[in-house]
Amino acid sequence: MTEEQLRRMHRLSSFQIITLGFAGVILFGALLLMLPISSSSGTWTPFPVTLFTSTSAVCVTGLVVRDTGTYWSAFGQALILLLIQIGGLGIVTVAAAFTILSGRKISLMQRSTMQDAI
């Protein structure tokens, strides 16, 4: 296979980019919620609990395993709030805002992805 053929095989569709973006934010949020700084007791939180909480926050469902006000520390609550904001605004919108704020141009592929997300 030539290098061009390999590059074409590794291109992701807009749907795949959006899906991976959501999965990445959810996983990153779950990993941060596992840290002892995220819980008010200062202990590690089990991964299934943090994964559910992070997924619920990004998908803006409002379901929780542990009471948000008592179980999570201020850091954990702020992280959950950030995940809710990212989920509510949309992953693509947040990514586009960061791209614009950094002074970079939005490519045609990125525009196509944003259009598919709407």
49 in a structural domain = yes
Position 107 in a domain: no
Average pLDDT of the residues in 27-39: 97
What's the one-letter identity of residue 81?
Answer: L
In a domain, 47, yes or no: yes
Q: What are phi and psi of 70, to 5 degrees?
A: -105, -35
Retrieve residue 42's tokens: 């200062």
The answer to whether residue 108 sits within a structural domain is no
Number of domains in the chain: 1
Q: What confidence tens digit (pLDDT) does each residue in 61-99 have? A: 889 999 999 999 999 999 999 999 888 887 777 777 777
51 falls in which pLDDT band (50, 70, 90)? very high
Confidence of residue 58 (pLDDT cuts 50, 70, 90): very high
Enclosing domain of residue 30: 12-90
pTM of the model: 0.75
